[in-house]
A and B are shown apart, each in its own frame.
Chain A
Amino acid sequence: AQSVSQHNHHVILSEAASLELGCNYSYGGTVNLFWYVQYPGQHLQLLLKYFSGDPLVKGIKGFEAEFIKSKFSFNLRKPSVQWSDTAEYFCAVIPYSGAGSYQLTFGKGTKLSVIP
């Protein structure tokens, strides 16, 4: 079974600071990778996804993530955060095929607080 580990439980940054949130997964086969975001009072929304191809993927609102297969990592980055980025961020993985290829496995989430 797959698992996801997010390194930081709570990150506090000032506006304009750079952001990197770590995500590592455990699974022996090919996976699809996602970052979801949950803004206060809102439901989970997809930020970006990796299925195949260029390991550097760009998402909405200036976010990007890099898939490093050798490190089983899919870290999320943003060069300059804004107060409106305050939210909880979840990394998730799903096997490309075979057993479990229907369920997203999520990390525990990282709460980001951006101070104006």
Chain B
Amino acid sequence: DTGVSQDPRHKITKRGQNVTFRCDPISEHNRLYWYRQTLGQGPEFLTYFQNEAQLEKSRLLSDRFSAERPKGSFSTLEIQRTEQGDSAMYLCASSHIAGVGQGEQFFGPGTRLTVL
């Protein structure tokens, strides 16, 4: 399967613990995005990378959140000192931008985080 993959698929943690999620995009895609989806809502943008550069962060991304994409390949999203409000599905997507206009974003299966 050459789609976007995410690991782990489920994570249960206790409040105050740190968690890290991984996303492997489609190999030729130069853009990578993180979104968060809570119950009854559509996905909400968190941040995106073009190659290894993090170009934009949403105000939803508090100081406890950090994302990296070393070498422009896979990405990690870390949440420090988790809170119950962080419970959500974290989605990763990737796309290829070759010029003007926006390419289709391909989504991974998500990581469902439950903070107890």
Chain A residues in the interface with B (C-beta under 8 A): 4, 32, 34, 36, 42-46, 49, 51, 90, 92, 94-97, 101-109
B42 contacts A90, CB within 8 Å? yes
B101 contacts A92, CB within 8 Å? no
Q: Inside 8 A of B25's CB, which chain A residues have their CB?
A: none
Q: Inside 8 A of A92's CB, which chain B residues have their CB?
A: 42
Chain B proximity of A34: nearest CB distance (Å): 7
A106 to B42 alpha-carbon distance, docked (Å): 5
Tell me if B67 is interfacial: C-beta within 8 Å of chain A. Answer: no
The 0/1 profile, CB within 8 Å of A marked 1, for residues 41-84 of chain B is 11111001000000110100000000000000000000000000
Closest chain B residue to A95, Cβ basis: B102
A105 contacts B40, CB within 8 Å? no
Tell me if B31 is interfacial: C-beta within 8 Å of chain A. Answer: yes
A16 to B15 alpha-carbon distance, docked (Å): 48
Tell me if B28 is interfacial: C-beta within 8 Å of chain A. Answer: no
Task: Offer 19 A-B interface pairs, CB within 8 angstroms, sorted by A.
Answer: A4-B42, A32-B101, A34-B104, A36-B107, A42-B109, A43-B109, A43-B110, A44-B91, A46-B106, A51-B102, A94-B102, A97-B100, A103-B56, A103-B58, A104-B33, A104-B35, A104-B93, A107-B42, A108-B42
Tell me if B105 is interfacial: C-beta within 8 Å of chain A. Answer: yes
Q: Inside 8 A of B110's CB, which chain A residues have their CB?
A: 43
Chain B residues in the interface with A (C-beta under 8 A): 31, 33, 35, 40-45, 48, 55-56, 58, 91, 93, 100-102, 104-110
Q: Inside 8 A of B93's CB, which chain A residues have their CB?
A: 104
Of listed A46, A90, A95, A106, residue having the most chain B CB within 10 A: A106
A105 contacts B102, CB within 8 Å? no
Q: Inside 8 A of A44's CB, which chain B residues have their CB?
A: 43, 91, 107
A103 to B34 alpha-carbon distance, docked (Å): 10
Select one of A36, A102, A106 contacting B55, CB under 8 A: A102
A109 to B43 alpha-carbon distance, docked (Å): 9
A103 contacts B48, CB within 8 Å? yes
Chain A proximity of B104: nearest CB distance (Å): 6
Q: Inside 8 A of B44's CB, which chain A residues have their CB?
A: 106
